[in-house]
Structure 1
């Protein structure tokens, strides 16, 4: 396996899209890193790359107090999650994308085309559906990962995504029948639509800037030690 294959996942998306999620691809001082662990870190990063700008869009286009509040939560929460991803990715030798997947970019395009009440409705339902989908992934990663850095990110993601689910529901605009159907019966999309492209060599890393008075904080790694009983090593190695 080459370093490039280790550093960037072959397939990502809202669904389980690889067949060897529990395969250990690196041994690190924070515990073994599996394909599922690596894909999770990239998924969290990719989520912020489209939900953060949608939050900014919501502040401009939203017409109800609930949508405006939810937009602020998206910006605040994903800026902190993004900082955590950018902090732990180099420690685990994970390459992060700079743009979201084509599917996720499609959500952004749809919301850009909306206005007025239609924007509010689509905003609440798309984001309730996508957060509900990743919520299940977070639970699985949190309960199975042996890597303490990934576990800490899952804790933060769990709190953030639950908050975002809640504020979307508080808009009063979520059609639960439709949204839960879409969440549990996602469309069959080609792998290319679910995968955020790797960044070109030398491209500066995109940074999601926190709001002026953030209420969410990135991970504090000062107390995080090795995980899962793995033998510490100075850097990730191909497993």
Structure 2
């Protein structure tokens, strides 16, 4: 593994999903009573995290399609685009129902990953992409399981089900590249250093700006949640 990648992975923050800090440190605190069940700090944080993850992994997927030097890396990029477009639509569908404000930009740390991969090329891009995304998806996996097993909110539970399937798929396609350095990746998953909250938190959306949308690819195979007549995402600026 390259020295640059080692420094990048060393910046990974804490076990669990990257991208957002719990506001009060009391994840079980109920912040709202909804018709879909109580909404806790952890529930709200999870929805924001899923949205923030897509805001950086989706553009990385497009990079992999353009810059990948093997079919497996290109396929991994296609799965990132497809899966995160559907998760993004689900987040935008349930957030208004639960009165959750979603970010329109990833965290500084996540944007740093995009910058690192954007500067890469050739085999280095392939390796860095597979290993960075394998670490972050491995960390996300445990967070999803905890939310799925503890939430009392049916919309959050459905999002966790979708995220679980998507993340497992993304872990698999990263591993299928044959480029994952398991010793280094598993170490980073289990013993990462902490970063300041400012590096992990996506900025709030700009007032009055249209919401960013991650556009599904042609022939998409992943579907967003059906929220039974609730608000559906409308036409908005796209990211890709």
Structure-2-length-normalised TM-score: 0.86
Q: 2:20–2:200: 8 Å Cα contact kept in structure 1?
A: no
What residue in structure 2 maps to residue 155 of structure 1?
Answer: 161
Look up the SS of the partner of 1:123 in the other structure: helix
Verify: 1:63 aligned to 2:73, yes or no.
no
Query: Any unmatched runs of 5+ in structure 1?
Result: 1-11, 225-239
Deviations 1:55-88 (A, max 9, x none): 0011111001110000000000000000000000
Q: Provide closer, same or farther for how the CA distance between residues 49 and 15 of structure 1 changes in structure 2, counting only shifts above 3 A.
A: closer
Partners of 1:13 and 1:194 within 8 A in 2: no
TM-score norm. by structure 1 comes to: 0.86
Q: Is contact 2:20-2:107 (8 Å) kept? A: no
After superposition, what is the alpha-carbon deviation per residue over 1:8-56, rounded to whole angstroms, capped at 9, x for unaligned?
A: xxxx962895420111000001000000000000000000000000000
The partner residue of 1:14 within 14, 18, 34 is: 18
Q: How many residues align?
A: 213
Find the residue that maps to 1:177 and give its secondary structure: helix
Separation in 2 of the partners of 1:188 and 1:31? 33
Structure 2: unaligned runs, 5 residues or longer: 1-15, 231-240
Task: Please give the residue correspondences for 1:16-31 in structure 2 after superposition, counting only pairs within 5 Å.
Answer: 17-18=21-22, 19-31=25-37
Q: Give the CA deviation at 1:174.
A: 0.2
CA displacement at 1:113 relative to structure 2: 1.0
RMSD: 1.7
- Which contiguous aligned blocks of 4+ residues in structure 1 show a shift greater than 6 angstroms? none
The one of 65, 74, 84 aligned to 2:80 = 74
> Which of 109, 123, 129 is the matching residue for 1:117?
123
